[in-house]
């Protein structure tokens, strides 16, 4: 059998061009297991003499034998390259293009390429379509609002479609430099395509952008006779992106939020104590117990003394359940585990964590239900980059302030000033204020950006000292103007010091010191009247933090019966099969258990 063709009994040859769409499941209601469909009659199961009666299921099962059903009907199994093909007339999930269709497609492309006519609209679409699709394929979770889509589509596709014909018309109308007109369309296509690629990969690096666009313009002039071939190539590139983008969008649309459901009636809790609550989150701030030890080896007695004087109680073995801001805070505010929401090794996992953090969560709902005004104070727009629906009553960053091409850190707010405005508002009523400061953060996550283990440690400790000064400032503001408040200082994860770069943590490790560097998180609480509840020893990890606080505020310990597992979890890429693993258990001891 030829590796490129499958022969039918009638002698008809069909070339197989494309196969399955991502990981789409078999839709036949009678499917008993992957690859076996509902039984068919013997007549239907035979090869017929027409191509129309044949269809193919491509399964990722090498060398599978014939599948035989109870009624003796069966599917013919054929080994084809690295895949196994099952013949069956019952599927519509796959494309089979005959050699005739391919021939017609080839003729159409050749007619387009060799024809004399210019296609400025098509050239405009081709220049922007691949950059547009690639942007969404790589960054969908950050740019999935309709406002952002309108901007990207307008900039990447619509603008070139309108601009290219207009420029050509203007040149011909004016009659300026007529000998150069033949280069115009090619130069514009090359410049727009290359410029957009730079924008989506490197951001706003003006000098680099201008250099690339200049080189692209020169190439466009040199290759103007081959513009149509370039257009075909640009469309092919765009089509290749769809093979990953379409399955991703399918998973996003079908995103399962069942993990957010509470195991009890805690969302109906009624507070008996109703102090103002301030939740202060210094990003990546390790707890004091680990900060004094290797690999940090930092004397933080100055801040510890300050907090002690302000009647804070510290919890030195507290840690996060997840390794970054988005995954940690979504678990914190739902009081539930998400286990990374069925991640993919590519790192492109559909999630709605930002929507969860900005208000689609139990914590904000509970405060709202108890008559609190809820405030979200962010130093940068990183958590609201995709403009999620806001359930907080107030956020200090308006969506109109966020550049549409923002990467999340090009706007910086004065958190102390924004907090002071809330404190000065005598009419704000009871308040819950969530404050997120991007400091001290963590070591560089990517190897290319790392300055080495020791230098990254030094930079982390410099940022930690800055964070200490900021913490003193905001704690001083709150205690001076709201002395009866409940103040919680809790980090979202650790600083990753001890790694050369953060992604090293995604390799299997039994090193407890390094794992603690990922998950260790400061927790210090100023309880009203200095009276901590007797069950505050249950503070072990962030997933249960608010459940314990709500038990305190409601004076009802029944909510402690549904505390979640205090394990800490990582996506592992190296040293074990890719997957989600518990790496620290309930007591903070090293384990390595895959989560199915």
Instruction: Supply the pLDDT for residue 173.
Output: 86
Q: Which ranges of 19-76 would DSSP assign to H, the alpha helix?
A: 42-45
Three-state SS at 357: helix
Instruction: Supply the pLDDT for residue 98.
Output: 54
Instruction: Supply the pLDDT for residue 550.
Output: 98
Its pTM surpasses 0.75: yes
CA distance linking residue 285 with residue 494, whole number of Å:
6
Span between the terminal Cα atoms of the chain, in Å: 41
**Parallel, antiparallel, or unpaired for β 373-378 and 431-437?**
parallel
Residues 6+ apart with CB under 8 A from 418: 377, 396
CB atoms within 10 A of CB 411: 15
Span 8-39, pLDDT tens digits: 333 333 333 333 333 333 333 333 333 333 33
Beta strands in 309-419 (DSSP E): 313-314, 373-378, 394-395
* Torsion sign (Cα): 266, 269, 272, 274: positive
CB atoms within 10 A of CB 112: 15
Span 263-313, pLDDT tens digits: 999 999 999 999 999 999 999 999 999 999 999 999 999 999 999 999 999
Residues 6+ apart with CB under 8 A from 8: 14, 47, 49, 51, 54
Instruction: Supply the pLDDT for residue 526.
Output: 98
The CATH superfamily holding the domain 276-341+352-562 is: Alkaline Phosphatase, subunit A (3.40.720.10)
Instruction: Give CA 64 to chain center in angstroms.
Output: 37
Instruction: Give CA 398 to chain center in angstroms.
Output: 22
Three-state SS at 344: coil
Output the tens digit of pLDDT for each of the chain's 596 residues. 333 333 333 333 333 333 333 333 333 333 333 333 333 333 333 333 333 333 333 333 333 333 444 444 443 433 333 333 344 444 444 444 456 677 787 788 888 888 888 899 999 999 999 999 999 999 999 999 999 999 999 999 999 999 999 999 998 888 777 888 899 999 999 999 999 999 888 877 788 999 999 999 999 999 999 999 999 999 999 999 999 999 999 999 999 999 999 999 999 999 999 999 999 999 999 999 999 999 999 999 999 999 999 999 999 999 999 999 999 999 999 999 999 988 888 777 778 899 999 988 999 999 999 999 999 999 999 999 999 999 999 999 999 999 988 888 889 999 999 999 999 987 778 999 999 999 999 999 999 999 999 999 999 999 999 999 999 999 999 999 999 999 999 999 999 999 999 999 999 999 999 999 999 999 999 999 999 999 999 999 999 999 999 999 999 999 999 999 999 999 999 999 999 999 999 999 999 999 98
Q: Which residues pair with 486 in a beta bridge?
A: 277
Nearest of 251, 252, 392 to residue 333 by alpha carbon: 392
Instruction: Supply the pLDDT for residue 87.
Output: 41
Nearest of 24, 21, 28, 20 to residue 57 by alpha carbon: 20
CA distance linking residue 303 with residue 292, whole number of Å:
13
Domain boundaries, the chain: 42-54+98-254, 276-341+352-562
Nearest of 481, 172, 189 to residue 180 by alpha carbon: 172
Containing 524, the helix (H) or strand (E) segment is: strand 523-526
CA distance linking residue 329 with residue 364, whole number of Å:
12
């Amino acid at each position: 059998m030829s590796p490129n063709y499958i022969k039918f009994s009638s002698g008809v040859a069909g070339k197989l061009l494309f196969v399955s769409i991502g990981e789409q499941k078999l839709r036949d209601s009678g499917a008993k297991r992957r690859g076996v469909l509902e039984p068919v009659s013997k007549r239907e199961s035979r090869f017929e003499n027409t191509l129309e009666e044949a269809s193919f299921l491509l399964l990722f099962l090498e060398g599978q034998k014939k599948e035989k059903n109870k009624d003796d009907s069966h599917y013919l199994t054929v080994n084809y390259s690295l895949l196994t093909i099952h013949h069956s007339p019952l599927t519509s999930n796959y494309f089979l293009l005959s050699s005739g269709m391919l021939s017609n497609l080839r003729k159409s492309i050749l007619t387009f390429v060799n024809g004399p006519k210019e296609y400025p609209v098509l050239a405009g679409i081709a220049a922007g379509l691949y950059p547009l699709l690639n942007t969404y394929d790589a960054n969908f979770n950050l740019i999935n609002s309709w406002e952002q889509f309108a901007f990207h589509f307008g900039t990447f596709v619509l603008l070139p479609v309108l601009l290219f014909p207009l420029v050509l018309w203007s040149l011909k109308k004016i009659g300026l430099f007529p000998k150069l007109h033949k280069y115009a369309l090619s130069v514009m296509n090359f410049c727009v395509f290359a410029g957009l690629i730079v924008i989506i990969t490197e951001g706003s690096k003006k000098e680099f952008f201008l250099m690339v666009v200049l080189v692209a313009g020169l190439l466009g002039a040199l290759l103007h006779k081959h513009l149509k071939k370039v257009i075909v190539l640009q469309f092919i590139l765009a089509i290749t992106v769809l093979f990953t983008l379409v399955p991703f969008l399918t998973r996003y649309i079908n995103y399962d939020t069942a993990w957010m459901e509470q195991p009890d009636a805690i969302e109906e809790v009624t507070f008996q104590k109703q102090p103002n609550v301030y939740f202060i989150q210094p990003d990546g701030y390790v707890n004091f117990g680990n900060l004094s030890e290797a690999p940090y080896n930092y004397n933080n007695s100055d801040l510890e003394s300050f907090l002690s004087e302000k009647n804070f109680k510290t919890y030195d073995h507290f840690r996060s359940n997840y390794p970054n801001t988005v995954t940690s805070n979504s678990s914190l505010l739902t009081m539930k585990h998400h286990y990374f929401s069925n991640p993919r090794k590519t790192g492109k996992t559909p999630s709605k964590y930002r929507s969860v953090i900005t208000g689609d969560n139990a914590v904000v709902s509970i405060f709202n239900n108890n008559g609190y005004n809820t405030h979200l104070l962010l130093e940068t727009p990183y958590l609201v980059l995709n403009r999620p629906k806001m359930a907080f009553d107030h956020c200090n960053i308006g969506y109109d302030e966020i550049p549409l091409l923002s990467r999340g850190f090009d706007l910086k707010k004065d958190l102390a000033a924004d907090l002071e405005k809330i404190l000065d508002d005598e009419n704000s009523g009871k308040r819950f204020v969530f404050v997120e400061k991007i400091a001290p953060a963590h070591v560089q996550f990517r190897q290319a950006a790392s300055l080495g283990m020791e230098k990254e440690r030094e930079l982390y400790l410099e940022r930690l000292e800055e964070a200490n000064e900021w913490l003193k400032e905001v704690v001083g503001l709150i205690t001076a103007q709201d002395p009866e408040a409940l103040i919680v200082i809790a980090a979202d994860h650790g600083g990753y010091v001890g790694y050369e770069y953060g992604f090293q943590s995604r390799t299997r490790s039994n090193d407890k010191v390094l794992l603690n560097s990922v998950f260790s998180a400061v927790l210090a609480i100023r309880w009203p009247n200095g009276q901590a509840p007797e069950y505050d020893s249950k503070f072990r990890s962030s997933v249960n933090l608010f459940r314990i606080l709500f038990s305190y505020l409601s004076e009802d310990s029944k909510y402690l019966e549904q505390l979640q597992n205090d394990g800490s979890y990582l996506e592992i890429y190296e040293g074990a099969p890719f997957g989600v693993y518990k790496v620290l258990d309930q007591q903070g001891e090293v384990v390595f258990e895959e989560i199915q």
